[in-house]
Amino acid sequence: MTAHATIPTDEDDFIPPYPFRHETQPSVIKLIGLARKNFLSIWSQRDFARRFMSQRVLRTHLFVCNQPDVVHEAFQSNHQAFQRKSPQMRHALEPLLGDGLFISDTETWRKRRKVVAPIIHGSRVPGFAPIMVDTITETRDAWAQKGEGTEIDALEEMAHLTAEIICRTIFGRNLGGNYASEVVQGFSDYQRHIDQIDIQSMLGLPDWMPRFRGSAIKQSVNRILSVLDEIIDSYHAQKESGEASVIGGLLEARDEDGRPLSREAIRSEAAVIFMAGHETTANTLAWTWFLLSKSPRVAAKLHEELDRVLDGRTPTFQDVANLPYTKAIIEETLRLYPPVPILARQAMEDATLSGTRVPKGSIVMVVPWLMHRNPNLWDKPDAFWPERFLEDSKRPNKYGYVPFSIGPRICAGLQFGMTESILSLATLASKFSLELKPGEDIQPVCRLTLRPGNDLPMILRERA
Ligand code: HEM
């Protein structure tokens, strides 16, 4: 993409933090060590501008697609060959998600996608929006109680907010609230104990070989699954209240043969939606607060839009379409800090990519962290500059901007996540600014998702 909108002067630019970039590529052993700590720190400066890369690590061939045409080839035209998630991802999430949509493939994925995607589809978002608005205004009121000058952990606040929203959406407003904190705790324990780098798979050991799993993982899985069971059991009681919920949609769904989903499948899909929809949005919002605190120019334009369009009102779903700058800020945040910074697949058969042979079993990656900062696609790739998203005709090629992935496996909750992020930012930023606590050094860290370290200490400032 070339920028056609007015390019801000250099003094206007805020260049947010990124890990050290190597001049030349480190050794494979060093790379594995770096990847285990922070997957973002393995890339050299040159990698950002490359179109297609390949590398052998232990017994695995790795391929990275870093330009829209190769991304299209891998995730759209060659979906059949590259639809399977990487063994790392599958082994990390399988204990919790079972055969859920996020990590399944072929027939199971195809059938589940048909059932699950419509339940959270964009057309359903207007129905979920009142739950979002109520939950966000609760956070706004809680912040007002805390008052001017209070220190908050913006990451934890956003995690709590998005967990409440997704819980109330999945389980219904009445049930969701009661179980939210328990499910959130279970998920965050689980994430802490899983390892993203599956050395067994890198060594070429087969999928069926058992992986070592600590008892902490089993405990958190049991905790989450038993809460999900309880909720499903009590669904019938809450159904009387006429409340719309994802779990209701799953219980009432029929597959293409007219059969209902099994109890296990319903549990898995509820866990998928919770996991996929909670931390991603929380990280997006936390990064947005950080970026705004560092860019007074962007914050002032945001406040101008909110004051003009909302005039002190709480926004509703109908306002979202009238907040283009708010949306552009979220889109720019998703470019700079994509919550899912690596999209990795395993070749299910021998195939080719960009004319190169890709043997069965290879890992094929699209790395939004790299491609979203590819200097051949973006002006000022490391700068926070939401204006680049403002004009429709100047928006990036959709295969070059992939925070929600792309192709048949694109995020099923894209509209949900965008609407939730815009409503949250608009509601909270109408009343508050957040200032980074002095002396804090915020750095991006990647485990399963890309987050601003373990916490984000900020000071609440009430807007006049
Ligand atoms: C800003 C927020 C969000 C971001 C950035 C995001 C991003 C993504 C990405 C990148 C994937 C594909 C992962 C991969 O290929 O490895 C994905 C899949 C998925 N997401 Fe989201 N997501 C967000 C919000 C949500 C929400 C709110 C929901 C549910 C309400 C959701 C539900 C799903 C589901 C079900 C899948 C699996 C789709 C499939 O494999 O067919 N996401 N998301």
Q: What is the pLDDT along the chain (464 residues), one digit of tens a residue?
A: 444 445 666 667 899 999 988 887 777 777 777 777 778 888 899 999 999 999 888 788 999 999 999 999 999 999 999 999 998 889 888 889 999 999 999 999 999 999 999 999 999 999 999 999 999 999 999 999 999 999 999 999 999 999 889 888 887 776 666 677 787 788 878 877 775 545 555 545 555 555 555 677 888 888 888 888 888 887 766 665 666 678 888 988 888 888 999 989 999 999 999 889 888 999 999 999 999 999 999 999 999 999 999 999 999 999 999 999 999 999 999 999 999 999 999 999 999 999 999 999 999 999 999 999 999 999 999 999 999 999 876 677 899 999 999 999 999 999 999 999 999 999 999 999 999 999 999 999 887 789 998 899 999 999 98
Q: Is residue 3 part of a domain?
A: no
Distance 426 CA to ligand 1 centre (A): 22
Task: Please indicate, yes or no, if residue 54 is contained in any of the structural domains.
Answer: yes
CB 119 within 8 A of CB 246: yes
Query: What's residue 2's pLDDT?
Result: 40
Instruction: Enumerate the H helices of 257-391 as residue ranges.
Output: 263-294, 296-310, 324-336, 368-371
CB of 217 closer than 8 Å to CB of 190: yes
Residue 2, domain member (yes or no): no
Number of H helices, E strands in the chain: 17, 12
pLDDT of amino acid 1 = 42
Beta-bridged to residue 434, according to DSSP, are 460
Ligand 1 centroid – CA 5 distance (Å): 30
User: Helix or strand or coil: residue 405?
Assistant: coil
3-state SS class at 429? helix
4 domain residue, yes or no: no
4 CA to centre of ligand 1 in angstroms = 30
- Burial (CB count within 10 angstroms: exposed 0-12, middle 13-18, buried 19+), residue 166: buried
CATH number, position 127: 1.10.630.10
3-state secondary structure of 71: helix
- The residue whose CA has the least distance to atom 3 of ligand 1 is 280
Q: How far apart are CA 340 and CA 405, in angstroms?
A: 9
Domain tally, the chain: 1
How many residues are there in the chain? Answer: 464
Residue 49 lies in a domain: yes
* pLDDT of the residue at 69: 97
Closest CA to ligand 1's atom 36: 411
Residue type, 159: A
Is residue 350 in some structural domain?
A: yes
Any domain includes 34:
yes
Question: Does some domain include residue 385?
Answer: yes
Domain hosting residue 295, numbered range: 10-462
State in Å: Cα 454 to ligand 1 middle.
22
- Find the 281 Cα to ligand 1 centroid distance in Å: 10
The answer to whether the beta carbons of residues 288 and 302 sit under 8 Å apart is no
CA dihedral 379→381→384→386, nearest 10 degrees, is: 50
| Rounded Cα gap, residues 387 and 8, in angstroms | 9
Q: How far is the CA of 21 from the centre of ligand 1 (A)?
A: 28
Q: How many CA atoms lie within 13 A of 421 on its CB side?
A: 31
Closest by alpha carbon to 324, among 244, 440, 404, 425? 425
* Protein residue with its CA nearest to atom 25 in ligand 1: 277
Are 317 and 429 spatial neighbours (Cβ–Cβ below 8 Å)?
Answer: no
* Ligand 1, CB cutoff 6 Å, lining residues: 101-102, 113, 120, 272-273, 276-277, 280-281, 284, 339-340, 343, 403-405, 409, 411-413, 416-417, 421
Tens-place pLDDT, residues 121-178? 999 999 999 999 999 999 999 999 999 999 999 999 999 999 889 888 887 776 666 6
Phi-psi region of 138 (alpha: psi -120 to 50; beta: other; left: phi over 0): alpha
Check residue 41 and give its pLDDT. 85
